[in-house]
């Protein structure tokens, strides 16, 4: 029976239809509620998200960076609300996201003051509120980003806490590996016998570090963000050697994917802090060579530059162990999500992960997934209509099956 139309597809993709597929968010910067204060949530965290911080400095170029960072978070949030929501229409995607969250929570955004909104969040219990957000977002599980070099986070892991099974760990590698030997001091502090050389002893100790923390966190994959200049093989690059002789062997031995997020230019404007990173085109030949050399290891790849998206799709057609995922950061905008999703469906079928939230604030799950799922649903509806026109029968159960493949985290856990 043919029962496909755009409304049904969008409702199923967005989670609005009964028994719609819940999704697994494979990459966030969220933390388990049991990790106490490092879990970010609430209106002040939403408004001081670095996307909005960058935007307020454009609205108020007279603002002095250092003075803004000295303000308490509430004062920063009040300024952002006043400048981007009261004095101007909140047109940007980041502003719209805040509106979507408030609407989902039945909070009135048409106000000059945040007093009532803050009162709502102050009354919430973090664990109950987490469940509420998951329900509104249609999310069943999220993957965190976990860095043992971060002192506050490390204390949580070492002390132990009651794990929420919906929060899965991913071991972040940047602090340890990027700009080696910068990671040496951190490894020594954690009790590993390393030095700046990449001797066999040091490489063994890096592998031991990865295995120790993989076990402690029950990490499901390892992840690293890379600059546009990343190359492999590169005899002059400590990073290339650490990946090939430490990270990839641990991944292979434990059946773990390696997620590589490529194209970020760090702190082009240090005054903006987290908002100060930029984007550059990357040579994906490095990914081709890694995928070819290590065919039994899964590489989850996302790029920051739009110019790399088509090349990555073609590359993934050639290597079954390469899985493109998400619309990362500067690509996480409606028109680009639409373009990227259509391109991937046309070149890769259902063998990619269409989106991740990259959320740093719990509440962002609501808007990032509501916005993305609506767009992905629209694109999918068009593709189903195309194959119906070609004589193929499609039912609601077919759509749910396909959505489970795309959104259910299956491509992350499947073997190469």
Q: What is the 3-state secondary structure (H, E, C) of the chain?
A: CCCCCHHHHHHHHHCCCCCCCCEEECCCCCCCHHHHHHCCCCHHHHHCCHHHHHHHHHHCCCCCHHHHHHCCHHHHHHHHHHHHHHCCCCCCHHHHHHHHHHHHCCCCCCCCCCHHHHHHHHCCCHHHHHHHHHHHHCEEEEECCECCCCHHHHHHHHHCCCCCCCEEEEEECHHHHCCCCCHHHHHHHCCCCCCCCCCHHHHHHHHHHHHHHHHHHCEEEEEEEECCCCCCCCCCCHHHHHHHHHHHHHHHHHCCCEEEEECEECCCCHHHHHHHCEECCCCCHHHHHHHHHCCCCCEEEEECCHHHHHHHHHHHHHCCCEEEECCCHHHCCHHHHHHHHHHHHHHHCCCCECCCCCCCCCCHHHHHHHHHHHHHHHHHHHHHHHHHHCCCCCCHHHHHHHHHHHHCCHHHHCCC
Averaged pLDDT, 345-350: 98
Model confidence at 349: pLDDT above 70: yes
Q: What is the pLDDT of residues 309-323, one digit of tens each?
A: 999 999 999 999 999
Q: What is the pLDDT of residues 179-218, one digit of tens each?
A: 999 999 999 999 999 999 999 999 999 999 999 999 999 9
Residue 1's pLDDT band, with cuts at 50, 70 and 90, is very low
Residue 8's pLDDT band, with cuts at 50, 70 and 90, is confident
Averaged pLDDT, 159-172: 97
Averaged pLDDT, 231-252: 97
**Res 19: pLDDT:** 60
Model confidence at 13: pLDDT above 90: no
**Res 2: pLDDT:** 44
**Res 15: pLDDT:** 64
- Overall pTM surpassing 0.85 (yes/no): yes
């Amino acid at each position: 029976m043919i029962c496909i139309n755009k409304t049904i597809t969008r409702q199923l993709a967005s989670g609005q239809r009964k028994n719609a597929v819940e999704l697994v968010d494979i990459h966030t910067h969220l933390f388990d509620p049991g990790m106490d204060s490092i879990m970010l949530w609430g209106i002040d965290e939403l408004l001081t998200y670095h996307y909005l911080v960058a935007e307020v400095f454009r609205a108020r170029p007279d603002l002095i960076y250092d003075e803004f960072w000295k303000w308490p978070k509430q004062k920063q949030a009040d300024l952002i609300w006043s400048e981007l929501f009261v004095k101007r229409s909140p047109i940007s995607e980041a502003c719209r996201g805040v509106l979507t969250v408030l609407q989902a929570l039945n909070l009135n955004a048409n106000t000059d003051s945040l007093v009532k909104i803050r009162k709502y969040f102050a009354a919430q219990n973090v664990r109950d509120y987490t469940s509420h957000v998951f329900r509104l977002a249609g999310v069943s599980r999220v993957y965190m980003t976990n860095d043992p070099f971060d002192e506050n986070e490390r204390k949580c892991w070492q002390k132990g806490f009651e794990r929420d099974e919906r929060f899965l760990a991913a071991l972040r590698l940047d602090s340890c590996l990027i700009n080696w030997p910068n990671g040496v001091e951190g490894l020594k502090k954690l009790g590993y016998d390393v030095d700046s050389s990449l001797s066999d002893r040091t490489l063994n100790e890096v592998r031991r570090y990865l295995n120790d923390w993989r076990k402690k966190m029950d990490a499901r994959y390892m992840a690293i963000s890379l600059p546009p200049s990343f190359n492999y093989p590169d005899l002059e690059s400590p990073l290339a050697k650490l990946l090939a002789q430490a990270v990839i062997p641990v991944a292979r031995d434990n059946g773990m994917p390696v997620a590589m997020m490529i194209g970020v230019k760090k702190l082009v404007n240090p005054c903006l802090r987290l908002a100060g990173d930029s984007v550059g085109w990357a040579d994906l030949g490095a990914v081709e060579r890694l995928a070819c050399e290590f065919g039994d290891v899964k590489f989850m790849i996302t790029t920051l530059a739009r110019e790399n998206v088509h090349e990555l799709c073609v590359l993934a057609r050639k290597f079954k162990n390469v899985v493109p995922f998400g619309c990362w950061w500067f690509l996480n905008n409606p028109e680009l999500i639409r373009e990227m999703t259509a391109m991937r469906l046309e070149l890769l079928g259902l063998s990619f992960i269409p989106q991740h939230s990259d959320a740093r604030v719990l509440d962002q799950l609501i808007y990032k997934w509501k916005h993305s799922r609506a767009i992905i649903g629209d694109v999918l509806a068009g593709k189903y209509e195309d194959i119906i026109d070609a004589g193929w029968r499609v039912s609601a159960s077919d759509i749910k099956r396909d959505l489970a493949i795309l959104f259910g985290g299956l491509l992350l856990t499947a073997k190469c």
